[in-house]
Amino acid sequence: DIQMTQSPSSLSASVGDRVTITCQASQDISNYVNWYQQKPGRAPKLLIYDASNLEAGVPSRFSGSASGTEFSFTISSLQPEDFATYYCQQFDVLPLTFGGGTKVDLK
């Protein structure tokens, strides 16, 4: 299975901060990465697909990028509704696998 090593596992930030989360893939997966947001008690929500494409209806403060086997997810200016857990997911090879998650909470 492809391992997606996500970091950090948690971070504390303030409203307005720039936040970056990374996922390191265990092998080359091209740009086959999605990013999801999950709030407590809710299902995950697709934010970014194909490493850098914004899902319809998702605010433009969310973005993604790729460099080799490292994938980054950025919130340019953290909003109160963005406190949640974020997951990367690879889809280059089955089984689909997720990173361990990054919990973003209020500093």
Query: Of 17 and 54, which has the nearer Cβ to other proteins?
Result: 54
Closest CA to 97 of 11, 29, 9, 40: 29
64 binds other proteins (CB under 8 A): no
Query: Of 26 and 77, which has the nearer Cβ to other proteins?
Result: 26
Q: Which amino acid is at 80?
A: P
User: What whole-number distance in Å separates Cα of residue 37 and Cα of residue 101?
Assistant: 9
* Least gap, CB of 101 to other proteins (angstroms): 5
Provide the β-strand partners of residue 25: 4
Q: By CB under 8 A, which span of 10-18, 42-50, 58-66, 75-83 interacts with other proteins?
A: 42-50
- Sequence-separated (6 or more) residues with CB below 8 Å from residue 8: 21, 102
Query: Of 17 and 24, which has the nearer Cβ to other proteins?
Result: 24
15 binds other proteins (CB under 8 A): no
Closest CA to 31 of 48, 18, 9, 6: 48
Binding residues for other proteins (CB under 8 A): 1, 32, 34, 36, 42-46, 49, 55, 87, 89, 91, 94-101
